[in-house]
Structure 1
Amino acid sequence: MKGLIGKKLGMASIYDEAGTAVPVTVIEAGPCVVVQRKTNDKEGYSAVQLGFEDQKESRLTKASLGHLKKAGVEAKRILKEFRTEDGEEAIVGDVIDASAFAEVNFVDIVATGKGRGFQGVVKRYDFGGGRASHGGGWIRRTGSIGMCEFPGRVFKGKKMPGHMGSKRVTTQNLKVIQVRPEENLILIKGSVPGANGDIVTIREALKKK
């Protein structure tokens, strides 16, 4: 199963064989423990639930503690589910680390993007704004958003100022530069969504093998 929960540690640069500096994002990938195994016979689909990062039992609900103790697993802070294909076996209690990506060249990263607060349309949607001369009095504003007579309202989904960022972002086909199983680190070329310390989901790329 090519899927893990990890934590974004930050960015660095390493040198490749040609001596070129390559910018990389360092991700602490796992170790993750298998908490639950879902099958086609019982749940209707095949998947595994992984747990990441130890947590104090006092900070979990009784339902979560009961779910983890049933599997014989220590308290975990993050639980995420990964779909599996037929024939892929995983036993509850198994530990999966960065070595699972030793032969993977490209990955998809899912994370929550950085929050930018309340922003206008120029920053949020790359609007051009109004003219700066010859009577233009609205350089960084939206412009007309509605009509006078029909339909006489503003359509839903209109691009307007508002809260920017803090949304689930998936970046596809990122190249894996190095895998360091002894340190549980995966070095991925380029940037990855989220701030340093954020939880990320690492999956084998779907569109690029």
Structure 2
Amino acid sequence: MPIGMLGKKIGMTQIFNKQGNTIPVTLLQVGPCTITQIQKEANHNYSRIQIGYEYINPNKLSKPNTEYFKKKKVPCFKYLKEYKTNSLDKLNIGKVLNIKEFKVGNQINISGISIGKGFSGYQKRHHFSRGPMSHGSKNHKQPGSIGAGTTPGRVFPGKRMAGRMGNEKVTIRNLEIVNINADKNIMLIKGSVPGKSGNIIYIYKK
């Protein structure tokens, strides 16, 4: 059954396997999350599950949001996320999903907001090569021609140029779970995860 949960990135470290090889891992604090809404799609074979993460004082929310949680008879949450599932076995509003839904060795997908790098040039952003560095050359880091002449007389949308780099949603698929600490809701993932420490991440298992 597909499971989606929210969590936070703690940081990176390394562990050693039985052969003594170093494995880079990312520490994640996953859940617990509460199901706040179940919406069945009439013309489709799936349902939408909404989960809430991180309790928040109702006084810090607007009245419409507070009334929404009150109507569902669940606590108020700071973050909400929706995902699709084909099975509703043992799922109901108010059920708490925790890290025990996952097992060591599972392949999961993780989404997060990548680290923002600010306004970057085309060499750093798109890995373009530089111009000649010999004496007399005046094209060291200039982008060069960016469009055609009279026809079409404009720059096409999507042209790779300098601009904002990072700070966008990134999904890494098929990351392996190395270890799970159910008491502290800590999960170790082999490899890196988008974003910096403290960022909210979304975990999805098919």
Identify the residue that residue 189 of structure 1 maps to in structure 2: 190
| Percent of pairs with identical residues | 37
Q: Distance in 2 between matches of 1:44 and 1:189?
A: 33
Deviation at 1:141, TM superposition (A): 2.2
Query: 1:100 is matched with which residue?
Result: 101
Q: Is the 1:53–1:78 Cα contact (8 Å) retained in structure 2?
A: yes
1:198 equivalent in structure 2: 199
The one-letter amino acid of 1:163's match is: R
CA contact (8 A) 2:147 2:154 kept: yes
Q: CA RMSD, aligned part only? A: 1.9
CA distance in structure 1 between the aligned counterparts of 2:178 and 2:87, rounded to whole angstroms: 29
Partner of 2:154: 153
- The residue aligned with 1:72 is 73
Q: Is the deviation greater in 111-120 or in 131-140?
A: 131-140
Secondary structure, aligned partner of 2:69: helix
Alignment partners' CA distance in 1, 2:44 and 2:51: 17
**1:31 alignment counterpart:** 32
CA distance in structure 1 between the partners assigned to 2:75 and 2:138 by the alignment: 62
In structure 2, distance between residues paired with 1:86 and 1:107: 18
Task: Give 1:42 deviation, angstroms.
Answer: 9.7
Show CA shifts across 1:5-59 (max 9, x none): 1100111112222222211100101000111111134998402111001112122
Deviation at 1:107, TM superposition (A): 0.9
Q: Give the conservation status (yes or no) of the 8 Å contact 2:56–2:76.
A: yes
Q: Structure 1's 103 and 42: CA in aligned 2 closer, same or farther, altered over 3 A?
A: farther
The answer (yes or no) to whether the contact 1:116–1:164 under 8 Å persists in 2 is: yes
Consecutive unaligned residues of structure 2, counting only runs of 5 or more, are: none
Return the alpha-carbon distance in structure 1 between the equivalents of residues 45 and 140 of structure 2: 55
Q: Corresponding residue for 2:6?
A: 5
Asked if 1:47 corresponds to 2:79, the answer is: no
The code of the aligned residue for 1:198 comes to N
Which has the larger displacement, 40-49 or 195-204?
Answer: 40-49
Within 2, Cα distance between the matches of 1:106 and 1:45?
22
Q: Which stretch of structure 1 is more off in the superposition, 82-91 or 46-55?
A: 82-91
TM-score by length of 1: 0.91
Distance in 2 separating the partners of 1:48 and 1:42: 16
Amino acid across the alignment from 2:34? V
Distance 2:173 2:45 in 1: 28
Letter in 2 for 1:150: T
Whether the 8 Å CA contact 1:130–1:139 is kept in 2: the answer is: yes
- Return 5+ residue gaps in structure 1 as ranges: none
